[in-house]
Amino acid sequence: MQIQILTVGKLKERYLVDGIAEYVKRLGPYAKISIVEVPDEKAPENMSPAEEQQVRDREGARLLAALRQDVYVVALAIDGEMWSSEQLAGSLDKLATYGRSQVAFVIGGSLGLSSELLRRADMRLSFGRMTLPHQLMRLVLVEQIYRAMRINRGEPYHK
């Protein structure tokens, strides 16, 4: 399986960089993982709704440009479906079984994803109704992908 994690902004925090690198290394025997970062837009605190929409649209255009046409797109969105780890594993297994072995998980910037990118997504996935920093979401996502791969192979992993 080829899995792309497409995200807005550059990761700076060392502990997150190290944690993600560890899970990407662990995923080596299971899948080819690539992480693509697109530049984020400056988003001052006092923006109008129209300015926020412009930021989402610009970031969304960059994300869309980085997606291949034939990839299955999973947008991480707070209003998406909430799955268990086992459901994620089952979905990835089903995609691979039916010839959709190229999957892109998309994480938006601090203001979320553009409506155009959400329309392009094949599904929306939520990790809960709480808002997580998009940088931390990368680590949570890569850990859950690793857990899903272990589940699919019937290998033990802590609960």
- Spatial distance between the Cα atoms of 140 and 65, rounded to a whole number of angstroms: 25
Q: What single letter denotes the amino acid at residue 95?
A: L
The answer to whether 27 is annotated as binding is: no
Q: pLDDT value at position 45?
A: 86
- DSSP readout, the chain? -EEEEEEES----HHHHHHHHHHHHHHTTT-EEEEEEEPPPP--TT--HHHHHHHHHHHHHHHHHTS-TTSEEEEEEEEEEE--HHHHHHHHHHHHHTT--EEEEEE-BTTB--HHHHHH-SEEEES-SS---HHHHHHHHHHHHHHHHHHHTT-----
The answer to whether 11 is annotated as binding is: no
User: pTM of the entire structure?
Assistant: 0.93
pLDDT averaged over every residue in the chain: 93
The answer to whether 95 is annotated as binding is: no
- Spatial distance between the Cα atoms of 127 and 22, rounded to a whole number of angstroms: 21
The answer to whether 137 is annotated as binding is: no
Q: What is the pLDDT of residues 28-69, one digit of tens each?
A: 999 999 999 999 998 888 899 999 999 999 999 999 999 988
The answer to whether 19 is annotated as binding is: no
- Spatial distance between the Cα atoms of 27 and 155, rounded to a whole number of angstroms: 13
The answer to whether 131 is annotated as binding is: yes
What mean pLDDT is predicted for residues 125-132? 88
The answer to whether 108 is annotated as binding is: yes
Q: How deeply is 70 buried, as exposed, middle or buried, from its count of CB atoms within 10 A (0-12, 13-18, 19+)?
A: exposed
The strand pair at 72-82 and 102-107 is best described as parallel
Size of the chain, expressed as the number of residues it contains: 159
- pLDDT band at 156; cut points 50, 70, 90: confident
Q: pLDDT value at position 158?
A: 66
The answer to whether 128 is annotated as binding is: yes
